[in-house]
Amino acid sequence: MVFHEKYMRRCLELAALGIGNVSPNPMVGSVIVHHNTIIGEGYHQKYGEVHAEVNAVNQVINNFSNYEELLEQATLYVSLEPCAHYGKTPPCADLIIRHKIPNVVIGCRDPFIQVNGKGIDKLKDAGINIMAGILENECKWLNRRFFTRVLKQRPYVILKWAQTADGFIAPKTSTQFWITGVEAKKLVHQWRAEEDAVLIGKNTAEIDNPMLNVRFGNGKSPKRVVIDRKLTLNSSLNIFDNSVQTFIFNDAKMEIDKQNVFIALEDFDRYVPEYILYQLYLQDVQSLIIEGGAKTLNSFITSNLWDEARIFTGNINLNEGIKAPNIIGKTTGKLSIGNDELLFLENEVNRII
């Protein structure tokens, strides 16, 4: 078992390279082993392009003239069950069968209804030896965004805020106030590149006028989401610059204006977080990071619609102001980021593993 785990860990390392680029698909890594030596590896690099198994097989084909013989004696490792249906690309199960790879080791099953055991069954029916469940929890955790979207029909939700040492998120006056240092800002920008969308409330948009992009990180900027019930936000704000798709949730208007998508909710007095998450699910948003303000964060906490929380605590005091959200979760990590402290929490109630 340890032997298989070594190669599955490499699959996970490869799969993680696809973060921020493959949604709404899962992140998947694959290696091909011949006589205890990796002869090919690959990962799903971009949504709509070939899958991990294809890249791994192609590497073997490109590097070895006797690739047919090698593949017929090899074991293919893959972190997620090979697909068995035609989507953006042909089924990976068919590729494995065509190259007569005799052994396949799988991290976890794919919960997507068009796969979910069908890939495994197809390989077994072709006489291929299957071993599944290697580092299963690690494989599921890597794709917690994908699993949440498929199983719960909503995006994976990450809450993020900064609070002062005495527990305030902002001053009472409607003014911009920085609590954390530049190191925290750079980290947040990198987080944005890893998620599909970032959400803020009306007050945050109005006071801070954020760009919500990744100018201090690497990767693509996420889609933007703002809650503006009465559509009172000024159209000159940065979030309306048409640089990326922006969803504006309100109570009256359904319209698309260039990159700005106005979505009217049925009822703005009840179930607002639920309605927002379902609409984003319909828009193929697989993960969402919520950056404030306090009212917006508290609404998702009260509705128990969050999966992770990332809380910065600065080393300054406000003495009075808007209280930081009160949240209960399992502590999964603590870090020092410059002069600030970062706490990671997990919502165990919503954990899909």
The one-letter amino acid at 289: I
Active site residue 53: yes
Buried b (16+ CB within 10 A) or exposed e, 284-318: ebbbbbbbbbbebbbbbbeeebbbbbbbbbbeeeb
The tokens of 342 are what? 């970062």
Given the residues 41, 53, 195, 291, the one annotated as active site:
53
Given a contact cutoff of 8 angstroms between Cβ atoms, the answer to whether 41 and 30 are in contact is: yes
Contacts of 46 (CB under 8 A, 6+ apart): 18, 21, 22
Q: Which residue's structure tokens are 């032997």?
A: 3
Q: Which residue's structure tokens are 């890594």?
A: 29
The tokens of 352 are what? 């899909």
- Provide the β-strand partners of residue 249: 227, 263
DSSP 270: S
The one-letter amino acid at 248: I
Distance CA 342, CA 348 (A): 19
Q: Where are the alpha helices (DSSP H) in the chain?
A: 2-16, 52-63, 67-71, 92-98, 118-125, 136-142, 144-152, 182-194, 202-208, 272-282, 294-302
Catalytic (active-site) positions: 53
